[in-house]
Amino acid sequence: MTQTVMEPSQASPAKNPSLAGDAFEPVLIAFVCNWCTYTAADLAGTSRLTYPDNVRLVRVMCTGMVDPQYVIKAFLEGADAVLVSGCHPGDCHYINGNYKARRRILLLKQILPRFGIDAKRLRLTWIGASDGIEFAQTMTRFVKDIKEIGPCQARLQPVI
Amino acid sequence: MTDQIGKTLVIGGGISGIRASLDLAQAGFQVILMEQADRVGGLLSQLDTQFPTSTCGMCRMLPMMDRDHVDPQCLRRGLAHDNIEICVSTDLISLTGEPGHFTVSFIAQTDGGRQECPVLVVDDEKIVRDSMKEWLREEGYPVQTAESAATALELLKTGNFKAMLTDIKMPGMDGVTLLTRAKEIQPDLAVVMMTAYAAVDTAVEAMKQGALDYLVKPFDPDAVLLMVDRIYKDAVAQNARIDTVDAVILATGATFFHPDQGINAYGYGRIPGVVTNLEFERMLSHAGPGGMDLTHPVTGRPVTRIAWFQCVGSRDIQTGTPFCSATCCMISVKQSLLAKTMYPHVTEACVFYMDLRTWGKASDAYARQAEAAGVRFVRARVHSLAPGLKEPDGAIPVVWMDPSGERNQSLFDLVVLAPGQHPDAFLTGFVKDQELTADDWGFVRPEPFLPAHTSRPGIFACGSATGPKDIHDSVTGATAAALSAMQVMAGAGRHLVQNSEQTESPVQQAAGISLFPGALVIGGGIAGMTAALAIADQGFEVDLVEKTDHLGGNLVWLKKGIQGADDFLEQQMAAVQAHDRIRIHTRNCAAETTGRPGRWITRLTPVEDAVDQSAGVPVRHGVVVLAVGGVEAGPDAPEPDQKSGFYTQQQFQQLLDGNDIDSGSPLQVALFQCHGSREPGREYCSRVCCPRSLDQAMQLKSLNPDTRVVIFYRDMMTPGLTEADYTEARKKGVVFVPYEPGNAPNLAAEDTGCKVTWTDPILGRAMEMDADYVILAKGIRSGLSKDLAHMFEADLDGSGFFDQADIKWRPVEAMDPRVLACGICLEPGSLALTLASARAAAAKAVSLLGRQTFFPSQDTARVRSAFCSLCRICIDACPFNARFIDPETRTLKVDPLACQGCGICAAACPSGAAVVAGRSLAPMMKTIHAALNAPL
Amino acid sequence: MIASIQTKNQSITRTLQDFFADLLKTGAVDAVLVPSRISKSPYVKPCLITSADQMDQTVPLGPGFFVNAGPMVSRLTRTRADATIGVWLRPCEVRAFVELTKLRQGGRQDVIILSMDCPMALSRKDYEDWAAQGEGGLGDVDKWIHTVYQKPVTKADAWPVARACQVCESPYPVNADVSVMLMGADLDKEIPVRADTEKGEKLLAALDLTDNGQEPAQRKAMLADLTADRTAAFQAMDEEMLVRTGSIDALNRFFSACVNCYNCRSVCPVCYCKECVFNTDAVAYAPAQYLSWADKWGQVPMPNDTVFFHLTRLAHIGCTCVGCGQCTLACPSQIPVADLFISVTRNVRKAFDYVPGRDDAEALPLSVFQESEFTDIVGMGNKEVT
């Protein structure tokens, strides 16, 4: 499907210092499950595995509690990307919240790209409690990908 | 007041210890959870995933109610509960007393612990010095070594040693002289003499001169550690903390066999690429040395060919471990399945086994899943390994004989050893100090028919301390042990912790749920009776329903086949009948139930009147225990009858019990295992048939030693200590013939008896036998009906047994914690397991009924009825069935006991009517705003 | 069973009015819900009629469609009615009702759904012009009927039908109890009526109708042609929407006239919430919050959350939008809301292989899941779903 992306009519990089010049520093919101990815992030921290500080963790009890509205709001408020990360299939502390999250992400992936929010900006991953390395690698890779894509339009201008 | 609150000491912070502690804490008692290591979690903190789910669900052990008292976090990050005092890095110094009043002293290792107990090892042999140093350092002792008495004396002048272990015979000054000189320098030094067996007299002589004790070479590491532990404990005793507890639960687990001990036939530590399964588990883990990939520990290259060797240091007379370690087969199945499916570069995953012990209701299907994924299972025990010097990339050549004696060889990059388990030094010492009855191998021997009881009243045991156990059996056993501790505390008149909910606001109180104060137990077999008695003994009313006209269930026919069971059954039946809190409803069944979970009104009707909707007695109950048992599986197709000598196990048992077998002249008997089991239609191992067949075989042999008994088997399922019976049967001359599905022995019924023909796997020759009896081991079918399960919003699993909330972590509960199950409608298993599950179910019931009223936790979901359209999307979304429409008010309500605060309802609700504190739209938008606007 | 109703006075309207009157007279139903004129104005609304002599103001088939009757049927069936109600619904109204039953806002027990090949609808402006041309304050309904059912068109009687109708891919009854097959029928002679359920059979039997009719020979082919036309029209609209809303900037412009009146939500048949989250404290921000936003970009338009509202609604009705076009009809700012919603939600439905209204037993996509599905949307390097 083709996407027509129009030039933004207004942008105020002055108010977004991290967008000035070449040094684009994306801001990513990661909704991470308390029981797995949050623990993995903790593990990454204690193992001194670094990941970019562009990632802002929002701890949730379960990916199943991530209302599509949270993701929409995060983008409209200027997130360059959103990650939702929960337990591997079968591993959900709340039995099946991750499966429900997967359908909600699929829903959002049908909607957001229609408005120029690249599907690559919304990711869903399963990162278990012991996957500290995977957590750090995923975050590093995600930030790198988003740096390549550039800032999300909604960060450059207010959305009505 | 405080001194009257019930308190239990749990020793060991592995999963058994955590489970028992949480059960007690949830019930409202205080717990001291003591662990030698620096964190709780035990072995499980090293396993990222477990079979048969290939995931980790450890956190599902956390309490479902009163969640404000527990930190909601992955147990790998730690455990925190208001009622549990967790003492990690802590050593037990002493334990004395009796039920209701034990005095325990213990010390934190950081607080004048083992670091304060330096040890000096003196020996002229380097290997002795080095291995002693390694063993002691592993346990946390600072160690120095000296190769001669002279060096030792120098060190003693500078260092402040608490203990010296010295060889007697050394060049230069001997050990006895060293003892005298050392005592001059440091009179309080504890000195232990080390000597060869031949020189024990000298050692005894040395003790007269002030030596504390002596050790005989070659050393058992455990004996060395016990000795040093003793010195350490004496040294620190005055600094220890002293506390009083009512009961003690021993949950210290077991330790692994070190494959480099003894002859080390597989070259562990010498051949690169030979690793233990625990080491492989780390390699498999993304947090392990290979990171995201599975790489060779030496070459760093991706691994392509992996072999697993079972029974290393188990089922092995040579290493003194004649028992089976129960879990290693499934660990290897899991590891091979994961390696094969996670890493495309793993082309060869091959498990070498003797019997693939996939016992229990879910394991066999899991093994077949591995087989379908391409894992190869080879029935062979590899004799030994030599390094593959000539092989490219250091590949290891593995040679084995197939059953026909043909030699096979393959190359592998990795060989994963599955070492057995055995009691650890702590357990050995504890058993000795507390004078507990242990079995021949050093595991605590439970009291007959009391699976968690040791021979010392008030001291209970669970987990692998009572013999190797998997997670499922450990968790069940731990909850059973918790019940035993609760019984002691109740007996001592102890109280529960005053819970803060009692001071909640009136609004929250209104939203609480009060359980009806009784239990309904369905099924009057030994499981139901055990559960009923345990619940009633704790002061709660019980209605016990049995559809037949008598109590006892399967134990009625089994009792003669199990030593002591006859009397035990009599006692239990008498106790149930005499109990003034138990109402027995024989010839009755549960016809229908109304009300909400926890406030059930179940109508009991006589079996013959079940169709009459109006008949029957309504019973109000807060919990339900399903204990309807099961039956020996019937024929799947028309089968020859007893005239041709065909019997099921149960029928044959009755024959044996009735002394109806004429064995004056030797008989020919074939026992046919897995008849209709572990194959489509009944894809599970019933766990009881192999032990029963062994028992029947031995009875036949004792009736007439010349009777020819042949057991046709696929895998002899004698996990854990039951392995001994298998060995015993072989000794008695019972013949074991393995078969695979597809080449099962042929049974041709004749007028009298049956001709059994098969191909001998070793000789490759056709064999036959004119059997007088053919005994078919058909396994167990669950007696639980869908209707009954659904009545309480529970369900059946794929095999027709009770569907547990989690097969490992919540083994006796449905998703709703008020719905419990035990016995063989829960899972097939021995009498011991049935009693354990019954006591575990009772523990859960008692814990719930004891609390009676449950208030919402802070994170319990709420409903803003003004916004609610009653669309029930949230009801569909809730994984815990916690939401319902109150028929009286036509509003949506939340059951605070079922709700887990996950917030899935809030995400599903489009109008914001479903809210979970701090997790709904408005606060979340603030969080998002703050996160986005935090400076980089 | 397919029955044939003889056309009376060469008027389909009259024939259907009599048909509804007969339903009441025979006691086959206790009430009917049929669009009817209000005080002789051109506007029609679904009316619940219990008197057989109140049929003359009903307009069973016409281009006026100002209320989706799906939610009205849900109101009539939220609890048991103790009556049987015959409801005369356009296909998109049936779809809406079916979705609402899945959302437990109603049930089928007390209704008999009669639906028809769709007469389509005009936009408000066109409808007023069309009505003004006829006599007695209403356009020539029978002429309209003859035009729409005789050849597959996207324009009827020279009037361009509403955009939602132009792109509607299922303008024929699905999941009704009785289907009235007008397309391609010889309407001067008869109206073929098919019973699709046991309830439908009973209803026709109560009117002494027998299995003597047949589906019009050309109907299937005509519907296929119509669907093909409409698929093409949808693609054109979809591309137009991508141009008009394919970036945040464009989206801002698209909704720039939106005054947050939420009319689109009020008329939406599948926006079923008793109270919308946008009416709750969830979006009641503190003054500091507004200032913080303004500070971030240098300005913040007020009222805000306009796009947030529309995107949320897209997420909420992504699977259930029935494409009736009411939102466009209701917009005071003439924003073609339906064009955008139909474009986007058709994508969503495709991803979940879900069709609203198709089947009562088909679960709402966000209420169910399978353990092994959509695995390609998980992970970092996998195929993108766009």
Domain ranges for chain A: 25-155
Does A132 reach chain B within 8 Å, measured CB to CB? Answer: yes
Chain A residues lying within 8 Å of C380, measured CB to CB: 123, 125, 138, 141-142, 145
Helix/strand/coil for B533: helix
Q: Tokens 């009512």 label which residue?
A: B246
| Beta-carbon separation of C295 and A15 below 8 A | yes
B921: nearest Cα among C111, C223, C305: C305
Whether the Cβ atoms of residue B314 and residue B417 lie closer than 8 Å to each other:
no
Residue B661's pLDDT band, with cuts at 50, 70 and 90, is confident
Q: Tell me the C-alpha distance between A37 and C354, whole Å.
A: 32
Asked whether residue B267 falls in the same domain as residue B410, the answer is: yes
Interface size B-C, in CB pairs within 8 Å, comes to 55
Asked whether residue C217 falls in the same domain as residue C275, the answer is: no
Cα–Cα distances in angstroms (integers) from residue B305 to residues B356, C38, C242, in the given order: 21, 81, 52
Least confident of A85-99, C143-157, C178-192, C230-244: C143-157
Whether the Cβ atoms of residue C312 and residue C341 lie closer than 8 Å to each other:
no
Mean pLDDT, residues B549-555: 95
The domain that holds B180 is classified in CATH as 3.40.50.2300
B35: nearest Cα among B436, B463, B326, B444: B463
Say if C259 falls within a structural domain.
yes
pLDDT per residue as tens digits for the range B712-757: 999 999 988 888 899 999 999 999 999 988 888 998 888 778 899 9
pLDDT for res A8: 38
- Rounded to a whole number, what is the distance in Å from the CA of B902 to chain A's nearest CA? 6
Q: Where are the alpha helices (DSSP H) in B392-470?
A: 425-433
pLDDT for res C150: 83
- Termini Cα distance of chain A: 26
Task: Note down the domain range covering B205.
Answer: 114-235
| Beta-carbon separation of C277 and B929 below 8 A | no
Q: Which of B456-460, B717-721, B741-745, C274-278 has the highest mean pLDDT?
A: B456-460
Domain total of chain B:
6
Of C251, C300, C347, the CB nearest to A115: C251
Among C221, C240, C269, give the residue marking a domain's end: C221
Say if B107 falls within a structural domain.
no
Which strands form B541-546's sheet, in the order they lie side by side? B582-586, B541-546, B518-522, B623-626, B819-821
Enter the pTM of the model: 0.90
pLDDT tops 60 at residue B510: no
Burial of B520 (0-12, 13-18, 19+ CB in 10 A): buried
Chain B residues lying within 8 Å of C289, measured CB to CB: 929
pLDDT for res B111: 66
Helix/strand/coil for B31: strand
Among C221, C238, C273, give the residue marking a domain's end: C221
pLDDT tops 90 at residue B815: yes
Asked whether residue B368 falls in the same domain as residue B271, the answer is: yes
Asked whether residue B432 falls in the same domain as residue B404, the answer is: no
Chain B residues lying within 8 Å of C295, measured CB to CB: none
Of B55, B880, B907, the CB nearest to A90: B55
Residue C315's pLDDT band, with cuts at 50, 70 and 90, is very high
**What are C248's two structure tokens?**
């945040």
Asked whether residue B214 falls in the same domain as residue B281, the answer is: no
DSSP-assigned beta bridge partners for residue B552: B525
| Beta-carbon separation of A110 and C296 below 8 A | no
pLDDT tops 90 at residue A12: no
The domain that holds B703 is classified in CATH as 3.50.50.60
Asked whether residue C323 falls in the same domain as residue C251, the answer is: yes
DSSP-assigned beta bridge partners for residue B396: B412
Say if C59 falls within a structural domain.
yes
Mean pLDDT, residues B858-885: 94
Say if B742 falls within a structural domain.
yes
Say if C98 falls within a structural domain.
yes
Domain total of chain C:
2
Search chain A and give the residue with CA nearest C344.
A111
Mean pLDDT, residues B64-74: 89
Q: Which of A5-14, B639-648, C118-127 has the highest mean pLDDT?
A: C118-127
pLDDT tops 70 at residue B290: no
Q: Please enumerate residues of B whose Cβ is less than 8 A from a Cβ of A.
A: 48, 53-57, 59-60, 72-74, 76-77, 285-287, 291-292, 815, 859, 877, 879-880, 900-904, 906-908, 916, 919, 921, 924-925, 927-929, 931-932, 934, 936
Residue B502's pLDDT band, with cuts at 50, 70 and 90, is very low
Average pLDDT, chain C: 93
B773: nearest Cα among B658, B639, B648: B648
Helix/strand/coil for B529: helix
| Beta-carbon separation of C297 and A12 below 8 A | yes
Share above pLDDT 90 across residues of chain B, in percent, rounded to a whole number: 63
pLDDT tops 70 at residue B538: yes
Whether the Cβ atoms of residue B69 and residue B29 lie closer than 8 Å to each other:
no
Search chain B and give the residue with CA nearest C103.
B871
Asked whether residue C209 falls in the same domain as residue C258, the answer is: no
pLDDT tops 50 at residue B281: yes
- The residue type found at B856 is P
Q: Which carries the bigger pLDDT value, residue C284 or residue A121?
A: A121
In 10 A of CB B713, how many CB atoms?
21
Q: Tell me the C-alpha distance between C328 and C263, whole Å.
A: 9
Asked whether residue B70 falls in the same domain as residue B96, the answer is: yes
Asked whether residue B413 falls in the same domain as residue B434, the answer is: no
pLDDT tops 90 at residue C318: yes
Burial of C139 (0-12, 13-18, 19+ CB in 10 A): buried
pLDDT per residue as tens digits for the range B586-619: 999 999 999 999 999 999 999 876 565 566 889 9
pLDDT for res B394: 77
Residues 14-73 of A with CB under 8 A from C: 15-16, 68-69, 72-73
A70: nearest Cα among C368, B931, B878: B931
Q: Which carries the bigger pLDDT value, residue C308 or residue B677?
A: C308
pLDDT tops 90 at residue B22: yes
pLDDT tops 70 at residue B332: yes
pLDDT for res B112: 65
Chain C residues lying within 8 Å of A112, measured CB to CB: 311
β-pairing, B30-34 vs B7-11, is parallel
Mean pLDDT, residues B900-918: 91
β-pairing, B513-514 vs B853-854, is antiparallel
Say if C235 falls within a structural domain.
yes
Asked whether residue B672 falls in the same domain as residue B752, the answer is: yes
Task: Note down the domain range covering C302.
Answer: 228-372
pLDDT for res C9: 87
pLDDT tops 50 at residue A10: no
Say if C292 falls within a structural domain.
yes
Search chain A and give the residue with CA nearest C346.
A110
Residue C384's pLDDT band, with cuts at 50, 70 and 90, is very low
The domain that holds B880 is classified in CATH as 3.30.70.20
Asked whether residue B772 falls in the same domain as residue B789, the answer is: no
- Rounded to a whole number, what is the distance in Å from the CA of B66 to chain C's nearest CA? 28
Mean pLDDT, residues C49-64: 95
Reduced 3-state DSSP string for chain A? CCCCCCCCCCCCHHHCHHHCCCCCCCCEEEEEECCCHHHHHHHHHHCCCCCCCCEEEEEECCHHHCCHHHHHHHHHCCCCEEEEEECCCCCCCCCCHHHHHHHHHHHHHHHHHHHCCCHHHEEEEECCCCCHHHHHHHHHHHHHHHHHHCCCHHHHCCCC
Q: Which CATH architecture has domain A25-155?
A: 3-Layer(aba) Sandwich (3.40)
Best B47, B874, B902, B929 member to test A by mutation, with max A CBs in 10 Å, is: B902
Among C205, C221, C237, give the residue marking a domain's end: C221
Asked whether residue C245 falls in the same domain as residue C212, the answer is: no
Best A29, A48, A53, A56 member to test B by mutation, with max B CBs in 10 Å, is: A56
Say if C174 falls within a structural domain.
yes
Whether the Cβ atoms of residue A41 and residue A86 lie closer than 8 Å to each other:
no
pLDDT tops 50 at residue B375: yes
Residue B501's pLDDT band, with cuts at 50, 70 and 90, is very low
Q: Tell me the C-alpha distance between B684 and C76, whole Å.
A: 52
Interface size A-B, in CB pairs within 8 Å, comes to 134
Q: Tell me the C-alpha distance between B338 and A30, whole Å.
A: 28
Helix/strand/coil for B488: helix
Search chain C and give the residue with CA nearest B906.
C277
Which strands form A28-33's sheet, in the order they lie side by side? A55-60, A28-33, A81-86, A122-126
For B662-686, b/e burial (b = at least 16 CB within 10 A) is ebeeebbbbbbbbbbbbbeebebbb
Which strands form B708-713's sheet, in the order they lie side by side? B646-648, B773-776, B668-672, B708-713, B735-738
HSE-CB of B129 using CA atoms within 13 angstroms:
14
In 10 A of CB C207, how many CB atoms?
16
Say if C85 falls within a structural domain.
yes
Q: Tell me the C-alpha distance between B684 and B359, whole Å.
A: 8
pLDDT tops 70 at residue B636: no
pLDDT tops 60 at residue A3: no
Q: Tell me the C-alpha distance between B917 and B861, whole Å.
A: 7
Residue A9's pLDDT band, with cuts at 50, 70 and 90, is very low
- Rounded to a whole number, what is the distance in Å from the CA of A67 to chain B's nearest CA? 4
Search chain A and give the residue with CA nearest C317.
A107
In 10 A of CB A20, how many CB atoms?
11
Burial of A3 (0-12, 13-18, 19+ CB in 10 A): middle
Mean pLDDT, residues C311-326: 97
pLDDT tops 60 at residue C154: no
Chain B residues lying within 8 Å of C284, measured CB to CB: 922
Q: Is the dihedral of CA B691, B694, B696, B699 positive or negative?
A: negative
Say if C360 falls within a structural domain.
yes
Helices A97-111 and A68-76: crossing angle, nearest 10°? 40
Q: Tell me the C-alpha distance between C77 and B147, whole Å.
A: 94
Least confident of A45-54, B298-307, B523-532: A45-54
Among B491, B510, B542, give the residue marking a domain's end: B491
Asked whether residue B305 falls in the same domain as residue B225, the answer is: no
Least confident of A45-49, B18-22, B425-429, C201-205: A45-49
DSSP-assigned beta bridge partners for residue B107: B91
Asked whether residue B905 falls in the same domain as residue B838, the answer is: no
pLDDT for res B388: 65
- Rounded to a whole number, what is the distance in Å from the CA of A14 to chain C's nearest CA? 9
pLDDT for res B610: 56
